[in-house]
Amino acid sequence: MLVTLPLVTILVEEDRDSSQTNDERHCSEKGRLFFADNSSPILPAAVPVQDILSVAKLPGIGQVASTIRKRMMSMALHKYLLTTDQVAALDPTKSFTHREFSFTIDNDVYIRYQSFKDCDEMKQEIIRMRPNKIDIGAIFTVQPKHAKMVQPGAFKPLEKELVFDIDMTDYDEIRTCCSGRRGVHCWVCDEQARCLDDAERKAIINYLTLIKGGSQQSKKVILNGNEEIHPHISRSLEIAYEHFDEIVLRDQGILDTEEQWSKLLSLIPDEDTRDTIDKIWQEDKTDSSFMKWEEFEDTLEKKMSKRGSNKQLEFTQKEIVLQYLYPRLDENVTTHLNHLLKSPFCVHPKTGRVCTPISPDDFETFDPFKVPTVVELLDEINSFEDQGADSQASTPDDHNAEPPRHASRLLPDYKKTSLKPYIETFEQFVAGIKKAAVKQDPLAF
């Protein structure tokens, strides 16, 4: 039996009010664009704050100072994993001990199916192996490092967070600004969501996916004209229309040049309409995208009134709006229990930025370029401790020696840095999962 649970809310079509708060994007005139925002008007609307952890995948330094790793990595994460243990029906530590970790070392070699008995062991391994990247996998029936000791069929994934992935590269064909290598993950972590199997995840992603097809198919949204529009689509449309002018016409200027607008034209199945619109646009090429879009709408309207109710044309406009604004979800990440997830708080190997959680409350104000980099973090710790050292004479870096009774020694390293608010967001999220689990009636299962 399912009880009312957080996951469930992601499937809910009701939460209409929150959609109105998503009136933002970070694609400013300066041409910066963060995809959490371009696409968030729809997804977060369906997802309540406390149930979501969004982890930004940021552009980012190959070799990361091992000091940082030693001191900061995985603490909050470990806490999350342990918390889910307490929440899960599993015995108390399985969610950590039976969890797959994957380390990526030099030459992009993945070392998969690692597991650790506790946080200390994990830390030691991280320090020893110096991975460039850490990914998190599923919770398995046996400790992943022992996978080869059991019969082939006995090693199976049991649980994993339900994750939705939006990658910048999937927008290449429609965006006119910014560099790639960015994206956002949406994690749904309550127990029911974690326990969904592949087929169930697949059904959810199919329910949500509107954009389909590879590079050989330019038109990627096709609404079935013979059926009543599904409430999920009509609600998405409402939100998309609200933002279309600003994001698509103003910021992206998708009709500014002929090269751009020909892409849009190719989405109109009716040749006659396509030619008419092209002709109008050709007349004054320098018109703004707003202007052209208005002309497009007018033309469609005229054509529709001429031919009576023409469902296909009516749908064409909706399909185009969705193609430009509906979130492009990476299906494989959501579908497979065995798919690896980038670890929260890991550092992007190129830019050195930390992968941080964002509360849906903060989507409007989140700026990916304000996220601390690993080098900044190291500086911050050092300067924090230098201040301490000034007032304390000396701080021997020896853990066995009696440390001076100073605040800097009592604080965990991450609290000395600009990472603090992100960790707190994460902690609040974890507390939320705990609370949700407590509210459940255990007899409901």
Partner 1 sequence: MFTQRAAGIKREFGSNVGGIGGGFGGRAPEVITHSGYPHRLQMYNKPPELEITIEEFESFALDRLQVLKAVEMAQLRGQGTDDCRRRINESLSKYLPMHSDRMGGTRPRQIIAERRKDHISHFILRLAFSRSEDLRQWFLRQETALFRHRYREVDSADRQSLLNEISFDLKILSPQEKAKFIEEMDIKGFYPQDEQLFEVDFRRVLDLVGRRQAILRKGRAYIAQSNLATLVINEYQKRLGRALEICAKALPRMDEDERLLPILQNMSSQYGSQEYQSTNAAGAVTADSVDSLTAHFPLCMRQLHGKLKEESHLKHFGRMQFGLFLKGIGLSLPEALLYWRKAFSRMTDDQFQKGYAYNIRHNYGMEGKRTDYTPYSCGKIITTNAPSSGDHHGCPFRHSGQDKLRAMLFHGGLKDSEVRDVADYAQKGHYQIACTKYLELQIQKRRGGGKPSVLAGSQANSGVVIESITHPNQYFDLSLGDGQLKNNNSNGSGKYAASYGSTQNYQR
- In angstroms, the Cα distances linking 218 to 236, 245, 247 are 21, 22, 20
How many whole angstroms separate alpha carbon 324 and alpha carbon 211?
A: 10
Nearer to partner 1, 405 or 442 (CB): 442
How many whole angstroms separate alpha carbon 170 and alpha carbon 166?
A: 8
Nearer to partner 1, 117 or 350 (CB): 350
3-state secondary structure 267-333: CCCCHHHHHHHHHHHHHCCCCCHHHHHHHHHHHHHHHHHHCCCCHHHHHHHHHHHHHHHCCCECHHH
Q: Pattern 91-110, binding to partner 1, x per CB under 8 A? A: ----------------xx--
Q: Under rule CB under 8 A, which residues in 167-226 are in contact with partner 1? A: 169-173, 192, 196, 199-200, 202-204, 206-207, 212-220
User: Residues 184, 166: contact at Cβ < 8 Å?
Assistant: yes
DSSP 8-state class, residue 217: -
Q: Under rule CB under 8 A, which residues in 302-341 are in contact with partner 1? A: 328, 330-331
Concerning whether 100 is annotated as a catalytic residue, the answer is yes
How many whole angstroms separate alpha carbon 315 and alpha carbon 304?
A: 11
Size of the residue set binding partner 1 (CB under 8 A) = 44
Indicate which single residue of 13, 120, 121, 298 sits in contact with partner 1 (rule: CB under 8 A).
13
Amino acid, res. 351 = T
242 interacts with partner 1 by CB under 8 A: no
Indicate which single residue of 56, 233, 240, 313 sits in contact with partner 1 (rule: CB under 8 A).
233
Nearer to partner 1, 158 or 375 (CB): 158
Which of 37, 159, 165, 380 is catalytic? The answer is 165
Q: Report, in Å, the least distance between residue 2 CB and partner 1.
A: 4
Q: Under rule CB under 8 A, which residues in 106-135 are in contact with partner 1? A: 107-108
List CB contacts of 121: < 8 A, sequence separation 6 or more. Answer: none
Q: Report, in Å, the least distance between residue 107 CB and partner 1.
A: 5
Please work out, in degrees rounded to the nearest 5, the angle formed at the alpha carbon of residue 231 by the alpha carbons of 52 and 162: 25
How many whole angstroms separate alpha carbon 437 and alpha carbon 95?
A: 15
**Lookup: tokens for 270:** 């009716």
Question: Please, where are the H alpha helices in 98-145?
Answer: 119-129
Place of tokens 């009516």: 314
Q: Report, in Å, the least distance between residue 352 CB and partner 1.
A: 20
379 interacts with partner 1 by CB under 8 A: no
Instruction: Please spell the DSSP secondary structure of 389-431, one letter per residue.
Output: HHHHS-----SSS-----HHHHS-GGGGSTTHHHHHHHHHHHH
Concerning whether 165 is annotated as a catalytic residue, the answer is yes
Nearer to partner 1, 14 or 91 (CB): 14
Nearer to partner 1, 171 or 281 (CB): 171
Q: Where is 100: in which H helix or E strand?
A: strand 99-105
Q: Report, in Å, the least distance between residue 168 CB and partner 1.
A: 11
Q: Under rule CB under 8 A, which residues in 53-92 are in contact with partner 1? A: none
Q: Report, in Å, the least distance between residue 211 CB and partner 1.
A: 8
Q: Under rule CB under 8 A, which residues in 135-174 are in contact with partner 1? A: 169-173
Nearer to partner 1, 170 or 251 (CB): 170
**Lookup: tokens for 338:** 């065995």
Which of 85, 167, 191, 330 is catalytic? The answer is 167
**Lookup: tokens for 172:** 């290449």
Nearer to partner 1, 82 or 267 (CB): 267
20 interacts with partner 1 by CB under 8 A: no
The catalytic residues are 100, 165, 167
Residues that bind partner 1 (CB under 8 A): 1-2, 4-5, 7-9, 11-14, 107-108, 169-173, 192, 196, 199-200, 202-204, 206-207, 212-220, 228, 230-233, 328, 330-331
